[in-house]
Amino acid sequence: MKIIRPDAETSARMARIRQKGTKIEAAVALMLRDLGLHYRRNVRKLPGSPDFANQSKRWAVFVHGCFWHHHAGCYRATVPKSNRRFWLNKFHDNKRRDARSVRLLQREGYRVVVIWECQAHRIRDKLTKILETGRVNP
């Protein structure tokens, strides 16, 4: 079965979805400041370009949208009915890339936290793990 790329209308609609500056990112930034944590945003020097990172303290935070990163068991992690194979491959590649980024950061001694879009109510709990010693799994 041949993989078909999305049509122009679908592609344009998907392109309008924000990649940066989302509500959940703003909430994470506010919480990091409330916890007194200093950070840089979208650090391209680090594997996966974490949404928030502190290189001297060696921690990184990824904020994942449940649809794009296909959060397991989440109602937002749907698969479009049209061109299903394309989307399944895309989600698989995204998850593999995310896991690789976390693994590489951990090898460099970073504590890594993944905040999922649907877990907005748990931001404080997840971010306080940055302050703990040892590594944090997503």
pLDDT digits (tens, 9 = 90+) for 47-84: 999 999 999 999 999 999 898 898 999 988 889 888 88
Task: Count how many residues are written for the chain.
Answer: 138
pTM: 0.80
Domains of the chain, each with CATH number or no CATH:
8-131 (3.40.960.10)
Query: Tens of pLDDT along 92-117?
Result: 999 999 999 999 999 999 999 999 99
Give the separation between CA 17 and CA 20, rounded to whole angstroms.
9
- Contact in structure between 101 and 47 (CB atoms under 8 Å): yes
Task: Report the pLDDT value the prediction gives residue 2, as an integer from 0 to 100.
Answer: 57
Q: What type of residue is 27? A: A
